[in-house]
């Protein structure tokens, strides 16, 4: 009897030690609990997506409307897993802030959401999302670009699966520039230009009451990653060295940048209604030659191509890309970067958790990332996808800027990102409308932003 008890204690001790020292087993395909029997249980997944895709290459006839592509992907997944029903809803851009927030407040968020990191990070900081680091196999985890894993890891948890990402730069219509005689003021071979060059290019292309060469907007916070490009190019920073306890934008460099923008607006270089104009109106101005250059990225190119197919572009379109202008001695491309990812809201039902995570993994698969990149002119987040744009000089040029200048910090992973983001827009509006000087506007922004950022201290 004593021998048996001794052997039992030894066995128990061995199991405890093994449990403390053995590596965690690889995650099940769908993550979470539920058991094998639950894999076949019928389940419904609610999927909300941004309105990114339309006229997918090779599927143009099937994807003529926003949301068609997401439904095709849901159908593919349901064919693979007949027990799963995926209900798809594609939101408008403005609804990604309002409708999702309302659904969360009502206790009924979607199960899976495809959206920008600047919004999903807020849900992660609120503890609303499923952690995914233990729900995917290690080799899949290792396939993601490390810098994106860093961006998506908040409070120690991988809060989403990055799908694709953009960087901001400028896109212009070379035809208008050449016809206006602005060739001497265009970017150099590296695609960069100074503020002086840029201003002369704007002056050459401006036609009173007919063409305002620079398309930009401060009507909503959605334009900030382009507007901030001018601040970064002047040497200002939104945050210094990842310190999200206070903003650094109210500086001599920041004031110089905003002063320059207000002067351009008053001189007729920036499209009228900068404080109220919508993104669609900005695009239409570009299509019709009322403007000639805008902030954006490679993702703008297929948007214009789609507009050409629909007969919306009424001027000759010969695109060129460039960095945001920089002040003498400032080494900055003025580029922000931001990924879109798939996140899973926390689930009480372990079966739904398994399938929601499985669907998110499906959305992040290499084959689909290749489709995303090609159709959005963005960069895939998984290394195994490779370079979707082999031989594309624009992709090569942007990649060179990324390597030389890096990207700027927008505070996407800050717990207060969404709250702080909306504070700059009304101050910029006040400056453009002449209600505040650039100094007063940035001082007001600093006071309001720091009051919110102090929550991080």
pLDDT tens for the 457 residues of the chain, in order = 334 333 343 333 333 333 333 223 233 344 444 455 456 899 999 999 999 999 999 999 999 999 999 999 999 999 999 999 999 999 999 899 899 999 999 999 999 999 999 899 989 989 999 999 999 999 999 999 887 888 898 888 999 999 998 889 999 999 999 999 999 999 999 999 999 999 999 999 999 999 999 999 999 998 998 999 999 999 999 998 778 899 999 999 999 999 999 999 999 999 999 999 998 999 999 999 999 999 998 889 989 999 999 999 999 999 999 999 999 999 888 998 889 999 999 999 999 999 999 999 999 999 999 999 999 878 888 989 988 887 889 988 998 887 788 788 888 888 888 899 999 999 999 999 999 999 999 999 999 999 999 987 6
Rounded to two decimals, what is the model's pTM?
0.69
Alpha carbons 169 and 294: distance in angstroms, whole number: 9
401 neighbors 191 (Cβ within 8 angstroms) = yes
Same domain flag for 389 and 417: no
Q: Does the residue 31 lie in any domain?
A: no
pLDDT at 30: 43
Q: Are residues 380 and 324 in the same domain?
A: no
Residue 331 has a CB neighbour count (10 Å cut-off) of 9
How far is it, in rounded angstroms, from Cα 164 to Cα 381? 5
Domain around 318: 169-336+410-456
Domain match, 256 and 374 both: no
Q: What is the pLDDT of residue 103?
A: 97
Residue 15 lies in a domain: no
pLDDT at 39: 66
User: Based on the domain organization, do 181 and 309 belong to the same domain?
Assistant: yes
**Which of 382, 400, 418 is the last residue before a domain boundary?**
400
> Would 350 be classed as within a structural domain?
yes
Q: Is residue 9 part of a domain?
A: no
Q: By the 8 A CB rule, do 262 and 272 touch?
A: no
> Helix (H, G, I), strand (E, B), or coil: what is residue 270?
strand
Assess whether 316 and 175 both reside in one domain.
yes
- One domain, residues 146 and 182: no
Q: How many domains does the chain have?
A: 2
Round to whole Å and give the CA distance between 309 and 306: 5
Instruction: Decide if 185 contacts 200 (C-beta within 8 A).
Output: yes
Q: Confirm whether 21 is domain-assigned.
A: no
CATH number at residue 145: 3.40.190.10
Among the listed residues 274, 285, 278, the one whose alpha carbon sits nearest the alpha carbon of residue 312: 285
The span from the CA of 269 to the CA of 259, in Å, is 14
* 136 and 259 share one domain: no
Q: Clarify whether residues 94 and 128 are in a common domain.
A: yes
In a domain, 183, yes or no: yes
Same domain, 88 and 185: no
Same domain, 345 and 428: no
User: Which segments of 54-94 does DSSP mark as H helices, in order?
Assistant: 68-80
Q: From 355, 370, 400, give the residue that closes a domain.
A: 400
Query: Is residue 30 in some structural domain?
Result: no
Per-residue pLDDT, 457: 65
The SS3 assignment for 422 reads helix
Same structural domain, 215 and 70: no
Q: Looking at the structure, do residues 250 and 385 belong to the same domain, yes or no?
A: no
Q: Is 8 a domain residue?
A: no
Is 224 in contact with 425 (CB distance < 8 Å)?
Answer: yes
Beta strand spans in 146-254 (E): 153-154, 157-158, 161-167, 169-173, 214-215
């Amino acid at each position: 009897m004593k021998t048996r008890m001794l052997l039992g204690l030894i066995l128990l001790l061995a199991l405890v030690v093994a449990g403390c020292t053995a590596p965690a087993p690889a995650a099940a395909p769908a993550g979470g609990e539920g058991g094998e029997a639950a894999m076949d249980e019928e389940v419904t997944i609610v999927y909300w997506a941004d309105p990114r895709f339309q006229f997918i290459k090779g599927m143009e006839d099937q994807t003529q409307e926003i949301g068609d592509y997401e439904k095709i992907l849901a159908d593919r997944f349901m064919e693979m897993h007949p027990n799963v029903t995926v209900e798809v809803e594609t939101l408008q851009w403005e609804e990604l802030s309002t409708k999702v927030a309302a659904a969360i407040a009502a206790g009924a968020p979607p199960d899976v959401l495809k959206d920008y990191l600047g919004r999903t990070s807020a849900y992660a900081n609120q503890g609303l999302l499923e952690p995914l680091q233990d729900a995917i196999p290690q080799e899949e985890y290792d396939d993601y670009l490390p810098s994106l894993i860093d961006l998506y890891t908040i409070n120690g948890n991988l809060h989403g699966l990055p799908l694709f990402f953009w960087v901001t730069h400028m896109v212009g219509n070379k035809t208008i520039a050449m016809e206006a005689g602005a060739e001497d003021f265009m970017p150099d071979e590296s695609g960069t230009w100074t503020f002086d060059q840029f201003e002369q290019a704007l002056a050459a292309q401006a036609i009173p009451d007919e063409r305002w060469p620079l398309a930009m907007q401060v009507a909503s916070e959605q334009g900030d990653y382009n507007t901030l490009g001018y601040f970064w190019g002047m040497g200002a920073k939104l945050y210094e060295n990842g310190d999200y306890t206070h903003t650094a934008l109210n500086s001599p460099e920041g004031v110089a940048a905003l002063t320059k923008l207000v002067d351009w607006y008053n001189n007729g270089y920036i499209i009228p209604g900068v404080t109220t104009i919508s993104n669609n109106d900005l695009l239409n101005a570009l299509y019709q030659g009322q403007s000639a250059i805008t902030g954006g990225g490679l993702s703008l190119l297929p948007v214009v191509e789609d507009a050409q197919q629909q007969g919306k572009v009424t001027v000759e379109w010969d695109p060129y890309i460039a960095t945001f202008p920089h002040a003498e001695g400032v080494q900055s491309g003025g580029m922000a970067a931001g990924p879109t990812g798939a996140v899973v809201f926390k689930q009480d039902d372990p079966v739904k958790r398994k399938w929601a995570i499985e669907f998110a993994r499906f959305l992040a698969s290499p084959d689909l990332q290749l489709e995303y990149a090609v159709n959005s002119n963005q960069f895939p987040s998984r290394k195994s996808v490779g370079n979707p744009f082999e031989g594309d000089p624009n992709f090569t040029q942007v990649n060179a800027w990324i390597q030389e200048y890096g990207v700027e910090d927008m505070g996407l992973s800050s717990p207060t990102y969404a709250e702080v983001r909306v504070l700059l827009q009304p101050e910029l509006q006040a400056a453009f409308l002449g209600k505040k000087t650039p100094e007063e506007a940035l001082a007001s922004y600093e006071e309001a932003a720091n009051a919110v950022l102090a929550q991080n201290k």
